[in-house]
Amino acid sequence: MRPIFDIRIVRSPDAPYYEDELLAGQDYYPDPYLAAVHDKGFNGIWLHALLRDLVRTDVFPDMDEAATRRRRQDKLKRLIERAARRHVGVYLYLCEPRGFRCDHAFFQRHPETRGTLGVSPMDDWMISPTQPPGEYGALCTSVPAVREFLEEAAGRLFTECRGLAGAFLITASEHLTHCRSHEGWGTSAPCPRCCPARDAAEVVAEVINLIHRGARRADPASRIIAWNWAWNQFRDPQTQAAIIERADRDVIIMADWERIGRKRVGRRTVKVDEYSLSYLGPSPTFRKVLAEARRHGHRVMAKLQLANTHEIVTVPHIPVPFNVGAKMKRMAAHGVDGYLGCWIFGGNLGLMTEVAGRMSFAPQPRPSALLRQLAVRDFGPAAAPHVLRAWRQFSRAWGLYPFCIPFLYFGPVNYAVAYPLTRPRPADQGGSPSWIALPRDAEGRLCPGGRTKNWAGPFTPGELAAALKRLARAWSAGLAELRSAQTIAPANEALAREAGIAEIILLNLEAAANLIRYERLATPGQPPRRLNPALRALLGDERRLTARALELVRNDPRLGFHSEAHCHLYTPADLEAKLRDLDALLGPAGRRHRRP
C-alpha cells in the first residue's frame, strides 16, 4: 500500500513529559510497543529533549554535565536502533534555544548571551510543581555565539545520534527561549538588541533555519518540522506568513488542524482554540497556513489529537471514530503530507489510532466500511451492527460538546463523578487545572477549587448545564446500542471495556451538569442544611452516578488516568469517600434512589 501521509507520529502515553525520560530507568518504548506502533500504521514516535542535554558544543562546552549527557545519548541511540528494526523513526521535540534562570551559572560565565527577561512557567513546573516562580533570561540570537550553538548542536545531534528521523520545533511557547518567544505574553525587560530592532518573523525563522541547516548538513535525510503553535501571539497578523516565507524550503510546516475554528453550541457560536474531536476541521487558520506554505514550496503537516483531547482525557479514547475518519478523509483531500497524532496525551494505541493508521494508506477506505470490518473483527458479526450504530451516534453526539478553553482546562469534566459536592473547597482562585494532580486536603480527600463562573467561558451556567444535558442524552442513545451488542456477545471482554469507556464519559457529563445545578441549590463546598425535594433528587442522582462509576473503575483501572498529569485524577477510594458523604446526607432511603 502507498502511504497517503508520509509522516505519522504518535507518543507513548506511559512516557512522563514533565520528567527527563532519557534519564529514567524505565523503558517507555519497549519492543512490543514499537511493534504495535508499526502495526497500527504509524512510522514515528516522539520524545522531548534539550540540545544542551544531548550534545557538547565547542562554542559552549560547559552547558551541561558530561556524565548525564552520555547517559541520555546512549539511551536515545539504543531507542533509535530498536525502533528502526520496527520501521519506526524517532523524532525529538525541541523548543530552543532554551533559556536559563537569571541566577544560573551559565549566565555568570556568559552574561553577554542573556537577552529578554521574563517568566518561564513550564521550566519552573518541570523543575518542580512547587518551584517558586523565577526570572528567566532568553538566549539572545543576536549574539553570534548563540547562533553558532544552535547550528553546531543540531549538527552534532544528527551526527552522533545517527538514524534520528528528525525533530519538530516549537518557537513560541510557555518556555522562554529566544528574545521574541514571549511576544505578547509580557516580559519584565525586553532585549535591547532584538526588541524592537528585529521583527519576530526574522528571529523565529532564524532559529528554525539554524537548526535545519545543522541537521541537514549532518544527515540530508533528516526532517525538521516547524510547528506554528502560538505564532498567533505575535501582534502583526502577517508574522506567520513572513516566517513561512523566510524558512528554508526543506523545512516542513506543521499547523493545528482545528485551532481557531468555529462551531455552534446551542444558540452560541464558539471558538475552537484547542485540539478537538467535536469539530472536524480544517479551521480557516489551517487552510491559510496550508496555502501560504504551498506557495513557498513547503511540505505541510497537521497537528491533531487522535485518541482523546482536553474535551475529556481520563479515558483511553473518546469513541468517536467516524469523526477521526472524516478528519483523515479531509486531510487527504487537502493534500496534507503527514501528521503529529498526539501531544503529551492522545496517542493511546486503540480504536481511534487504528482508524487513523488504516486511513493513512491508499486506497483510502471509507470510514463506514473500515469500522464495520473492525467491529466484526473485535466483537463478532452479530454484535457488529449495534457497535457500528453506537460509534456513529457517539460521533454525531460529540459535535454537541460545549467547547471553551476554561471548561476544558479548569472544568470538572475529567473527574466530575468523583467531585466532592459537599466537601470544603480551597479558596476560589479560578479552578483547579485538570492537567495536573488535583489538590487534596490533609486527609487525602479531593478538594478541587473553582466554581462554574470560573470555567463557563462564554456560556452562562444554565446554558452550560443545558448543553451538557443535550450531549448526555444524545450520547445515551449510542450507549444503548452498545448494551444491545452486549446482550448478543455477553462474554466479549473487549466489548465490555468499550461499553465501560462510553459509560464513564456519560457519567462524567451528567455529574458535571449536576455540579452546576448543585451550586444553584446549595452553598458550594458545604453540606446542605436541609434537603428540599429538588436537592434530595439531585444528590440521589449523584449517588447513582458515583456508585456506577465505582463499578466501572474497579473493572478497568485505565479509567480516571490522565496522561499529562501522569496520575489518576480520581481513584476507587475517592469514589468510595464520596459515596459515604452522600449516604450520610441521604440516609437509608437515599441509597435506593432511582433516577426519575
In angstroms, the Cα distances linking 591 to 500, 503, 546 are 23, 21, 11
**Those residues with Cβ within 8 angstroms of residue 178's Cβ, 6 or more apart along the chain or in another chain:** 97, 115, 138, 139, 140, 141, 171, 194, 203, 204, 207
pLDDT the model gives residue 429: 64
Are residues 18 and 123 in contact, defined by beta-carbon separation less than 8 angstroms?
A: no
pLDDT the model gives residue 124: 74
Q: Is the peptide bond before 196 cis (omega within 30 degrees of 0)?
A: yes
At the topology level of CATH, where does 2-97+146-365 sit?
TIM Barrel (3.20.20)
What letter does residue 440 receive in the DSSP assignment? B
What letter does residue 298 receive in the DSSP assignment? -
Q: Which helix (H) or strand (E) holds 45?
A: strand 44-48
Return residue ranges of the chain for CATH 3.20.20.80.
Answer: 2-97+146-365
The x, y and z cell numbers of residue 583, run together, are 449516604
Which of 232, 247, 209, 210 lies closest to 283, judged by CA? 232
Residue numbers of the chain with a pLDDT score lower than 50 = 593-596
pLDDT the model gives residue 234: 75
Q: Note the pLDDT tens digit of each residue in 25-69.
A: 889 999 999 999 999 999 999 999 999 999 999 999 988 788 899
Whether this prediction's pTM lies above 0.75 is answered by yes
Are residues 585 and 532 in contact, defined by beta-carbon separation less than 8 angstroms?
A: no
pLDDT the model gives residue 596: 31
Q: Which helix (H) or strand (E) holds 396?
A: helix 384-398
Q: Note the pLDDT tens digit of each residue in 181-190.
A: 988 776 779 9
Are residues 15 and 47 in contact, defined by beta-carbon separation less than 8 angstroms?
A: yes
Are residues 109 and 100 in contact, defined by beta-carbon separation less than 8 angstroms?
A: no
**Those residues with Cβ within 8 angstroms of residue 39's Cβ, 6 or more apart along the chain or in another chain:** none
pLDDT the model gives residue 489: 96
Per-residue HEC secondary structure of 186-239 comes to: CCCECCCCCCCCCCHHHHHHHHHHHHHHHHHHHCCCCEEEEECCCHHHCCCCCH
SS3 257: coil
